[in-house]
């Protein structure tokens, strides 16, 4: 009896993934809860576990895009548990549906080692030294052989009874060796090789990884599905920076984490969503679903790509809890410990390109969400305050939104609410 290996549901908005690798060989014996494959989506990489014991047979190949609910392999539960010597290795997996091949009973296929009828020249019963100094060669020939180092067994003698003459040795000395002949024959290829290598050295070609292909597909899908529009503003971070400077030491001592900028922006986004609930929505078919919770996704860059873990119920979280949550997700992302549960259910996303030096960008929304806030680098810029030009730490903000359900007035109001909350942090405590 065979049991199907089925791709499980991975969360909302995920309909398929890339089978990036098999963790086992086809035809091998797998055990319950053993990792057998790795699946990549645009949000996460997840391992699949065997839910029974048996011999596995693949129905999908590495690199294939597989849909949720698809059968990618079968496991033969009737197979007996093999011994260690019978388990097929990576190099010796069976090609007949995954069965374990039995070793031959007799080694008759291996021919016995027999004494050859004739030995090569180097293996002749007469060693090279003996041939050089042998009585069959004249003293002049022996001297010349010693000087040149030529193996007499490689020379065809033209003298009486096939003896080697001095002329034979001199002719052999002037003749090209086999290696030289091969080298001469390969000269045309050798001349063209540097030209090819120099050309190829100017570029590097490599295929897109499965996750990058999927991310590209999802981003194109988002732009083709939603009517994405962006609006911009700038924010003065003087008040936030002064607040951090005054209370940083006490904050670290009390909570074990630094007070960063992201907690202020998460709180500001919650504040703005409460003021403009028309952005805290998603499109579901021909229906508009309004969220009454504030689960905020924070984009985190990893070596494999961008992941967006979600901070839950941010309206109930303190600044310390937000900072601790962000630090925890960053550590999990570095170690590859981000799970699917960490990625699900967000209603709005914040991405900070400023940590990489970005001055301004137009982020792409994360479907089915209707908005995303882009933060950027902080730069000292001249601004007018009370009729005077002063230098202030300024940041450009970008709000990308789905214009199908969010109007320009709502988008601009939302961004202004964030600006007010950051420039006057007391608003976050007072709820105004």
CB 333 within 8 A of CB 325: no
CB 315 within 8 A of CB 294: yes
Query: What whole-number distance in Å separates Cα of residue 222 and Cα of residue 282?
Result: 13
Query: Do the bridges between strand 371-375 and strand 388-402 make them parallel or antiparallel, or are there none, so unpaired?
Result: antiparallel
Query: What whole-number distance in Å separates Cα of residue 219 and Cα of residue 396?
Result: 23
Query: What tokens appear for 361 in the block?
Result: 């960008």
Query: What whole-number distance in Å separates Cα of residue 211 and Cα of residue 295?
Result: 25
**Helices first, then strands: H and E counts in the chain:** 12, 19
CB 226 within 8 A of CB 286: no
Distances (CA, A) of 318 to 217, 249, 323, 425: 37, 17, 9, 14
**For this structure, is 286 an active site residue?**
no
Helix ranges (H only) for 256-397 are: 262-275, 319-335, 340-343
Give the CA angle between residues 43, 48, 49 to the nearest 5°. Answer: 155
Q: Of 346, 365, 232, nearest to 298 (Cα)? A: 346
Query: What tokens appear for 420 in the block?
Result: 């007010």
Active-site hit among 86, 146, 313, 407: 407
Query: What whole-number distance in Å separates Cα of residue 235 and Cα of residue 394?
Result: 6
Query: What tokens appear for 415 in the block?
Result: 């961004």
CA 353 remoteness from chain centre:
21
Active-site hit among 64, 151, 255, 403: 403
**For this structure, is 407 an active site residue?**
yes
Just list the catalytic residues. Answer: 403, 407
């Amino acid at each position: 009896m065979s049991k199907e290996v089925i791709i499980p549901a991975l969360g909302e908005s995920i309909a398929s993934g890339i089978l990036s690798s098999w963790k086992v060989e086809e035809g091998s014996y797998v055990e319950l809860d053993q990792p057998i494959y790795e699946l990549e989506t645009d949000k996460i990489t997840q391992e699949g576990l065997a839910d029974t014991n048996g011999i596995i047979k693949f129905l999908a190949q590495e690199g294939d895009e597989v849909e949720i609910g698809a059968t990618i392999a079968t496991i033969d539960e009737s197979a007996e548990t093999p011994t260690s010597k019978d388990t097929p290795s990576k190099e010796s997996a069976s090609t007949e549906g995954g069965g374990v091949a039995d070793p031959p009973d007799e080694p008759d296929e291996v021919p016995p080692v027999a004494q050859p009828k004739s030995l090569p020249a180097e293996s002749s019963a007469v060693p090279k030294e003996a041939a050089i100094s042998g009585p069959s060669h004249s003293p002049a020939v022996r001297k010349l052989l010693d000087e040149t180092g030529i193996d007499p067994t490689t020379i065809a003698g033209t003298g009486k009874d096939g003896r080697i003459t001095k002329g034979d040795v001199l002719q052999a000395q002037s003749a090209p060796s086999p290696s030289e002949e091969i080298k001469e024959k390969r000269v045309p290829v050798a001349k063209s090789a540097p030209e090819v290598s120099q050309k190829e050295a100017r570029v590097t070609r490599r295929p897109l990884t499965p996750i990058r292909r999927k991310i590209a597909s999802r981003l194109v899908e988002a732009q083709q599905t939603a009517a994405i529009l962006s609006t911009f503003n700038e924010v003065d971070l003087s008040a936030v920076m002064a607040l951090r400077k005054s209370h940083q030491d006490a904050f670290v001592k009390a909570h074990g984490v630094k007070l960063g900028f992201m907690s202020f922006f998460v709180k500001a986004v919650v504040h703005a969503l409460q003021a403009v609930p028309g952005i805290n929505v998603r499109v579901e078919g021909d229906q508009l679903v309004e969220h009454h919770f504030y689960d905020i996704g924070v984009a985190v860059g990893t070596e494999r790509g961008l992941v967006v873990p979600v901070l839950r119920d941010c309206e109930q979280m303190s600044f310390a809890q937000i900072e601790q949550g962000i630090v925890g997700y960053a550590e999990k992302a570095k170690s590859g410990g981000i799970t699917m549960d960490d990625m699900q259910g967000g209603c709005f996303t914040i991405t900070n390109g400023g940590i990489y030096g970005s001055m301004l960008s137009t982020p792409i929304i994360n479907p089915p969400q209707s908005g995303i806030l882009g933060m950027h680098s902080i730069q000292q810029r001249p601004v007018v305050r009370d009729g005077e030009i002063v230098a202030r730490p300024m940041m450009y903000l970008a709000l990308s939104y789905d214009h199908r359900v969010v109007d320009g007035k709502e988008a601009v109001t939302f961004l202004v609410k964030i600006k007010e909350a950051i420039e006057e942090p007391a608003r976050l405590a007072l709820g105004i």
